[in-house]
Chains A and B, each alone.
Chain A
């Protein structure tokens, strides 16, 4: 019983506090709703991460140990997990060199720094010339290994400078450029994420193809709206004369009349008549785009985007809002208990 009643009581109290906290003009309430409650959740979520990580290891480890199908992929998952843990928590890989005294031979020092940072020695010389007396200069390159940094210290000291080997603080090594964590992030994680994201471009194309296939009236409307939006949003769209659009409308009218009357003669009459009317009107108006500007692609796309589109999405939004109120109420009042496994 307690397993059910205590969570329900917690849900009720926090739900009510959060809901009414929005309407109460009191600092304590506001702080609870806006900060404290969300921080509690973040803390719980952080601890839950440990559960998630252990589960990941268990599931993938089981696959490897029992040689389940495709177990080879699990090795990569486990390897990636331990590598991330290592570079995040165990191995900083963020060593750098600090120079407290540049010494008399600044030319040689700038050569050494330029070689370490892989930049032009002149740039290094200019940078060093800006360093004031008694100012500590930090070589911007971060060394993943200690030996690399120590080698630079030796080279600098051999040329008369006073250089020291240092490491970035724990936590700082995640943010600094050039650290092992940063390397992993920039050269492994980001390209992989970008690859997945880039797939969207191709998937959008294939999904659009499916959506735009003319199967019924709605799909045809979608196709026409899609074309108008696409053409209207590119620079070429504004160069197309609205008179051309008017001709397209006449031709579209011909298609509609043909599907409705199924009479070639009548379709021919309607289409030809329409073309004639548009042509005569065009000559009278001097083919000026301003006279029927409302039919230009940019104006049409703007109308489709801001009137029927917004109307439809607002209708969905109202439905979602009502659904959310209903769902939240059911959960807060303990009417809906499925999320507790009931």
Chain B
């Protein structure tokens, strides 16, 4: 789809929505207007830039050291003749972070297939196990090495948080992988896993959107993909224009948010000084 068509679609949607609003907006949940407009606007921006990227526009991505280190980590494992350990978090496929983690697994498994490095993926949810198998199998196939793939590479341990941490720690201490990837949603087990990985001298790359766990990963891992870096890793690694376009869309969204924050701060200061009557905070708190 061309970016012109995207703009026409967005414009049509906006007109239809305005008409719907004009006619009393039945079935629309009161109080969620700002959220709706924000999501639709952000989605529109992302879709526009995806179309732009698909049409050949150049998208610049700053270098993310953590993502560049993926190949280095797999290469190190290959040189040392040891395995690569990939932990896709402890939550199920209903979490965006798990989906992002499993997507990254696809890229890592392509590298392990290429370098003929053993890959081990212990999982804590059966659905994640099935999804991961499908992805890894496909990656090995795409690299022309289906012979290296076997189902036991991705195996289920347990659903329980600390039992899973104990299981993964055991694998680390026994198998001594040279590279450990922690990509997904984590809770308190993050530090247990990362410290054990650190103790065996593995190169560690973590990625999570779990805010509380980021400091633990930063202190114990060699590289950490923080928040949105982790969520955009798949796009960065695949270099597909459509995915890269969405990152640019996100960044434009971020720029708009920054401008909105600045505007709100200034507007609020004017209100506090008594120069403006309208309290802009009400707009955000009510919606």
Chain A partners chain B? yes
- Mask: chain B, 174-191; 1 = CB below 8 Å from A; 0 = not: 100000000000001101
The CA of A11 and the CA of B243, in the complex, are separated in Å by 18
Is B191's CB under 8 angstroms from A200's CB? yes
- B10 near A: Cβ within 8 Å? no
Is A208's CB under 8 angstroms from B219's CB? yes
Minimum CB–CB distance from B206 to chain A (whole Å) comes to 13
Is B126's CB under 8 angstroms from A316's CB? no
Chain A residues within an 8 Å CB radius of B138: 341-342
Is A323's CB under 8 angstroms from B50's CB? no
Chain B residues within an 8 Å CB radius of A262: none
Q: Which of B46, B158, B211, B227 has the most A CB atoms < 10 Å from its CB?
A: B227
Minimum CB–CB distance from A263 to chain B (whole Å) comes to 35
Secondary structure at chain B's binding surface: helix, strand, loop or mixed? helix
Chain B 203-251 residues near chain A, CB threshold 8 A: 209, 211, 214-216, 218-220, 226-228, 230-232, 234-235, 238, 242-243, 246-247, 249-250
Secondary structure at chain A's binding surface: helix, strand, loop or mixed? helix
Chain A residues within an 8 Å CB radius of B93: 339
Given known A-B contacts A23-B29, A24-B28, A316-B214, A322 and B99 have beta carbons under 8 A apart: no
Given known A-B contacts A70-B174, A324-B209, A335-B50, A193 and B231 have beta carbons under 8 A apart: no
Is A49's CB under 8 angstroms from B211's CB? no
Given known A-B contacts A323-B209, A324-B96, A325-B43, A193 and B32 have beta carbons under 8 A apart: no
Chain A 313-342 residues near chain B, CB threshold 8 A: 313, 316-320, 322-331, 333, 335-336, 338-342
Chain A residues within an 8 Å CB radius of B234: 336, 338
Is B219's CB under 8 angstroms from A207's CB? yes
Chain A residues within an 8 Å CB radius of B137: 341
Given known A-B contacts A193-B162, A206-B195, A336-B103, A69 and B246 have beta carbons under 8 A apart: no
- B111 near A: Cβ within 8 Å? no
Tier of interface size on chain A:
35 or more
- B143 near A: Cβ within 8 Å? no
Is B29's CB under 8 angstroms from A207's CB? no
Chain A residues within an 8 Å CB radius of B131: 339
Partner of A318, one of B92, B107, B166, B257: B257
The CA of A79 and the CA of B282, in the complex, are separated in Å by 60
Using a CB–CB cutoff of 8 Å, the interface residues on chain B facing chain A are: 27-30, 32, 35-36, 39, 42-43, 46-47, 50, 92-94, 96, 99-100, 102-103, 106-107, 125-127, 129-131, 134-135, 137-139, 151-152, 155-163, 165-166, 170, 174, 188-189, 191-192, 195, 209, 211, 214-216, 218-220, 226-228, 230-232, 234-235, 238, 242-243, 246-247, 249-250, 253-254, 257
Additional A-B contacts beyond A41-B94, A320-B209 (8; CB < 8 A) = A196-B162, A200-B191, A322-B228, A322-B250, A322-B253, A326-B247, A331-B99, A339-B131
